[in-house]
Structure 1
Amino acid sequence: MEKLIKIIDKSIDSYMDIDGVYQAKIFEAMRYSLFTGGKRLRPIFMIKTYEIFSKDINNVLPFATAIEMIHTYSLIHDDLPSMDNDQFRRGKPTNHMVYGEAMSILAGDGLLNLAFEIMSKSIEYDNEDNGEYKRKIRAIQEISKNSGVQGMIGGQVVDLLGNHENMNRDKLKFMYKAKTAGLFQASVVAGAILGGAKEEEIEILRNFSLDLGLLYQIQDDLMDAEEDRKINKLTFLTYYGVEHTELKVLELTKKVFDSLDQLKNRNIDSLKEVTKLLVKREK
């Protein structure tokens, strides 16, 4: 795992090595949030999924790099005073606390645009009739949808507008599926597409990644229960209580591994291993 993280970090860093340009400060701000202790979960899941179907990770690495940039941009913007107004993330000052609100907005915008530049550049020399070209286009579409208004951004809108008067169980589930599970789904499904998975395998992994993202968020709710209660935050626990929430974690855990077991005649050991690490994580 450490070896893969180093490969991902090296790829990310290759796009940040810009010295002597007038806009160097934006690269500094982008780099700051990219390298403040992120676990690289989404690119890892993308690559591990891809490796079930294909072995040359050079084809998937630009997309894995891009998904981490999209994830990081979303965190920068989430932390802004106009959003969650968080002053610390991963034990360090948030981007706007270091670089100011205006530069942080631009850093997030810069990462999002750079992510799509990287992905689109990966098809620059591909033949349009080639299967790999078509898979890359489809992967870009999958990532766009799950990170946009039908996915992560849409979930953030519901989160911003939600309160104890207008939120309900259905809205909360939508928010979790869109805001958190969306990028997990984009990562896994794009990895499967790029690797050349069959349609039925892509759908199995779509269901797997949706349940995985929900599991990840509900685990967070349990781990952050005391802190969330202090600020009266709406979470899965608000509507279902501790006992039902813990049962939901067990249910989703079973579902994610059952989904993986549906991939007949495929070596899923590596993807299953990283899934186990996520399931067993602690705060």
Structure 2
Amino acid sequence: MTTDATETTVTDEAVQSLRGTADPRVRELLTGLIRHLHAFARETRLTQGEWEQAVAFLTETGRTCTDTRQEFILLSDVLGLSMLVETVNGDREAGATESTVLGPFHMTESPARALGANIDLVGGGEPCVVSGRVLSRDGSPLPGAVLDVWQADGNGFYDVQRPDTQPPGNGRGLFTADSEGRFRFRTCVPSPYPIPTDGPVGALLRATGRHPYRPAHIHFIADAAGHTPVTTHIFVAGSDYLDSDAVFAVKQNLVQNFTETDDPALAREFGVPNPFRHARFDLVLERTA
């Protein structure tokens, strides 16, 4: 190793230090990371003070993380990295439900609930029903498919954000599809909401003049035997911020109508007042190779 480091030799030496890495994928990832980070520093002429600010920012990001808050995922989200990684790995066959980001609030286990149960335990939003089927890509139903569902309350907060006003598990449910792959649950129509801005990520958004809002959505993870799980959202058609999601996660195929439905018999079946809002859609999974 030379003692006369230059802008290029220090990069080469850092890469060479990885030559003993046993795992070839770890070596590939770290090599790419070093080369890109070093190229960024050279291209932008990164100053010592700016480097120290970056270290302090990342340190504070780590300090902000708790058992119920993942500030690093939030940082990844607002930089577009989460959506990029999802896109790189989300090449699905035609007809399969598109995937999107997990988000920072899948931080607690969803309680198992019966089909038709209400996940909105506090009220305050417009009642609605969400229903559909879980299908294989050939159209066959997937009985026993498991759906993990989570969303914010009518005021735009997740249960882990407001434990003083929301019981644990509010806005969450783990549902098992019936013998025909059907699912349904009651909830409130989601509303747009801001991602948390009281930490380093919020400071970053303010420094760059960006808004913190996400369009109205409900999260899903759908899983069935012999199929690849999908992590996705549905977005409420007509919601604000569909064209400027703070985490870049909107896909047009995931935008769904929450239709006002005037059907007394169906309202009785679902256990909701009539008329009501109803979102109907199918989740389509790919078979595993």
Same fold (TM over 0.5): no
Higher helix share: 1
The structure with the larger Rg is 2
Higher strand share: 2
Q: TM-score, normalised by structure 1?
A: 0.27
Q: TM-score, normalised by structure 2?
A: 0.27
